[in-house]
Amino acid sequence: MGKHKVSIKKTLTPEQAAAYMKKLAEGLLDGKLVVEEEDRSVTLAPCGEINIEAKAKTKRGKQKFKLELTWATPEESEEETALAVKEASDLAEKAQAAPPAEKKVSPPAKDAPAPLSEPDDEKE
C-alpha cells in the first residue's frame, strides 16, 4: 500500500472542534475515517486494537492537547506474519545446511597469570 497523507490545520470554536471530534469518533465506530483537505483525502479503516497516545501541555498562556491513534491494517498484519514465517524458515534451512561450529579453546599464554583459586575453608 502506498503512502497517502493529508494534514489539516484550522482554527475552530470549541463547539466546532467538538463536532469535528464527534465525527471522528463516529468514523472510528463505523470502521471508516475519511480525512479531507481541499482536493485531497485519505480514507482509513480502523480495526482491531487501537493504540492511543495523548499529550497535554501548558506553557506561557498557551495550552496544547495532542491525540494520536494508530492501528495495524489487516494487510500489514498478514504481510508481517508471512515475512516472520519466511525469515524463521530461512534460518531453519541455514541451520540444517551448516555443520555445527567447533568450539576452539586456546591454551593460556606463557605470560598469562595463574588463575586465582578460591580459598579452602578446610585449610585452617
- Considering the entire predicted model, what is its pTM? 0.55
Segment 95-104, tens digit of pLDDT: 556 555 554 5
Q: Where are the alpha helices (DSSP H) in the chain?
A: 14-30, 74-97
pLDDT, position 95 = 59
Exposure string (b/e) for 99-110, b if CB count within 10 Å is 16 or more?
eeeeeeeeeeee
Domain ranges of the chain: 14-76
pLDDT at 22 over 80: yes
CA neighbor of 44 nearest in space, from 35, 57, 52: 35
Enumerate the β-bridge partners of residue 55: 66
Greater confidence (89 vs 17) lies with: 17
